[in-house]
Structure 1
Amino acid sequence: PRPLVTRPSSRSGSSVSPSSTNLAIEPGDRAPEELIASLQRGFYVTEVFGQGVDMVTGEYSRGASGFWIENGALAYPVAEVTIASNLKAMFLNMVPASDLDRNFGTAAPTLLIEGMTLAGA
């Protein structure tokens, strides 16, 4: 398992609520380029948008854009597709790259996540 470090709550005025401040996913040993090169086909996500996480079941579905991966290389841009999975399955199948940048409160390296659903035209 990959360690996740999180501060479980934050204060806003007089209330305390769950939040994702100070989250870091520890880096792996391989460069992002190596992870991409290891794929025959895939999707490199550069942006997600919209809402779509059910915090009870863990089902996840978001709009996304990025680049199609073909034969281990970025092939062409892709826009307005949907990516979907289950949060537990995603966290269990993450392979982190070595490019963690800790200059932000929420930090994560490039991640390879196998088994997600990709839909769109």
Structure 2
Amino acid sequence: MRNKSAVVIGAIGLLTTSGALMLGIALGANTATVSVVRETPNQLCFKDTATDQFSELHVETKLKACQVVGMTKQAAIDYLEAADITVRIASEDGEGFALTEDYSDSRVNLDVLVGIVVGASAW
């Protein structure tokens, strides 16, 4: 009898916890906001000083790629295109896109999530 009570109490606790988790996820997804969205380039980025760089242009492109992380998608595209850098969307909201594997030192691939650039790579 004692074991049966423990199982029932455990099951009730598990159901309550699961329900609270689902409710939290549902409410959190509806009210999620990004508190820090950059409209200007990140000033904390720096040039890569490694000696094995492809070219000086590649160093500049990597710097620009770093600077757009955290910006809105459109602001990042505008900033990069103003610097004569080709922009490709590599993934958006979890959906990856097919990309060519040719190298260009003036191209940045952006990873976008909910309209915000969360990753940028220069290659």
TM above 0.5: no
Q: Which structure is higher in strand share?
A: 1
Compare CA radii of gyration and give the structure with the larger one.
2
Q: Which structure is higher in helix share?
A: 2
- How high is the TM-score relative to the length of structure 2? 0.26
- How high is the TM-score relative to the length of structure 1? 0.27
